Amino acid sequence: MKRILTGITPSGYPHLGNYIGAIKPSLDLLDEKCESFLFIADHHALIKVWDPKKLKELTHQVAMAWLASGLDPSKTFFYRQSDIPEITELAWILSCVTEKGLLNRAHAYKAAIDINKESGKKDMEEGISLGLFSYPLLMACDILCPNATHVPVGKDQQQHLEMTRDIAHKFNNRYGEAFNLPKAVIADEKTVLGIDGRKMSKSYNNIIPLLGSEKDLKKSVMRIVTNSQEPGVRKEWKDNVLFSIYSAFANESSLSEMKQKFEDGIGWGDAKTIVFEELNELIAPIRENFEKQKGELKYIEDVLQQNARKVRETTKPLLEKVKSLVGIGSF
C-alpha cells in the first residue's frame, strides 16, 4: 500500500500558496488505497521562529488550516512533528551515516552562504545555525521514520527527496534493509506568486491570507502589483502577476474568459474585483469552518495527540529495528 507524506512548516500564517501547493493536493490524494501522513513541522520552524508564543499560535493556525479545509483526521495520520520523538532520535543515528559534503550541497545552506558573500561578511557561515545546515537530514527523518513510499514535492523540493533516498540507501547498504526508498510525486505544479510578483512566501511578506477576514482578503488582492495601463488598453496576460495568481485556482472556463477580458482592455480595478470575488467564493467555506473551530483548542490538541499515538505504532517499531541493526539497545 502506498504511504504518502506531506508537511507544512508553521513559520508564518497559512496563505493561498499553502492551500494550493500542499493542503488541497494532500486532500485530493486521500483515498482508501493509500495511507496519508500529514504533519505540522514545528521542529523545522525553530530555525526561523524564536518566539515561543508565536510558534504555538502558528502551529495552531496550520492545524486549523488543514481541518477547516475539510481534512477528516479519522481517515488519515494528522500529527505534530514534535509529538513523534522517534524522528529526532533517528536524526542522530542517520547523521552518523550522512556525509557533510551531501549537506553542503543543500539549496538553503548555499543560499545563506551567498547572502553572506553579497553582504561582504568575512565569515561566510556567520548566522547560519546547525539547524539550518542539517535541515535536509531532519526532513529525511520526517519521511523515513514513518517509512513513506511516496512524497509529493515541487521542483524546489526535489533535492531534499534525492538526499533522503541517498541517506536511506547508504544506511540499508551498511546495516541491512530498514527503509523504503521514497519516490517523488511530482504533480502539475502551480507556483503561486505573491502580491509583489515573487513566489508567495511568509519571508517576502507578500501573502494572500487563507484564514483572514473577507476584508483582509480583499485588501490583499487589491494590493497585487499591476502596471499603469488605463482601461480600454489591451492587457498582456502572459507573465502578468494578477493573471498568474488567478490561474492558480480558477478553472479553464474562467481562465478563458479572463484572457478575453485582458484582450478587451479590462481595467485593473475590475479585474482585481473578479479575482477577489472568485477567490472569496473558494475560501469562504474554509473561513467559516475556521471561525467555528478556532476556539476549540482542546479538540485540536486531542486530534493531534490521538493521531500521534497512531503514528507511533509505525515509528516505534521502525526505530527499534534501526537501533538493533546499528547495535544500540539492550543485550
Classify residue 112: in a domain, yes or no. Answer: yes
Check if 199 is active-site. Answer: yes
Tell whether 60 and 169 lie within a shared domain: yes
Tell whether 233 and 316 lie within a shared domain: no
Classify residue 92: in a domain, yes or no. Answer: yes
Going by pLDDT thresholds of 50, 70 and 90, the confidence category of residue 1 is confident
Tell whether 41 and 172 lie within a shared domain: yes
According to the model, what pLDDT value does residue 31 have? 72
Looking at the predicted structure, is the pLDDT value of residue 308 above 70?
Answer: yes
Check if 202 is active-site. Answer: yes
**Residue-number span of the structural domain to which 301 is assigned:** 2-192+296-326
Tell whether 94 and 129 lie within a shared domain: yes
CATH of the domain at 173: 3.40.50.620
Given 75, 117, 155, 292, the catalytic residue: 117
Relative orientation angle of helices 297-326 and 85-95, to the nearest 10 degrees: 30
Tell whether 136 and 229 lie within a shared domain: no
Q: Is 31 exposed, middle or buried (0-12, 13-18, 19+ CB in 10 A)?
A: exposed
Q: What is the arithmetic mean of pLDDT over 269-274?
A: 97
Tell whether 98 and 143 lie within a shared domain: yes
Tell whether 219 and 285 lie within a shared domain: yes
Check if 117 is active-site. Answer: yes
Beta 77-80 vs 34-40: how paired, if at all? parallel
Tell whether 178 and 61 lie within a shared domain: yes
Tell whether 98 and 8 lie within a shared domain: yes
Number of independent structural domains in the chain: 2
Q: What is the arithmetic mean of pLDDT over 198-207?
A: 89
Q: Determine what percent of the chain falls in helix, strand and coil, rounding each to the nearest 5.
A: 55, 10, 35
Classify residue 205: in a domain, yes or no. Answer: no
According to the model, what pLDDT value does residue 202 have? 82
HSE-up of residue 301 (Cα within 13 Å, Cβ side)? 6
126-148 per-position pLDDT tens digit: 999 999 999 999 999 999 999 99
Strands (E), 112-268: 150-152, 183-185
Given 2, 24, 183, 199, the catalytic residue: 199
Q: What is the pTM of this model?
A: 0.91
Classify residue 207: in a domain, yes or no. Answer: no
List of residues 6+ apart from 95 with CB closer than 8 A: 134, 137
Tell whether 163 and 284 lie within a shared domain: no
Tell whether 29 and 144 lie within a shared domain: yes
Classify residue 152: in a domain, yes or no. Answer: yes
Tell whether 98 and 119 lie within a shared domain: yes
213-271 per-position pLDDT tens digit: 999 999 999 999 999 999 999 999 998 999 999 999 999 999 999 999 999 999 999 99
According to the model, what pLDDT value does residue 189 have? 61
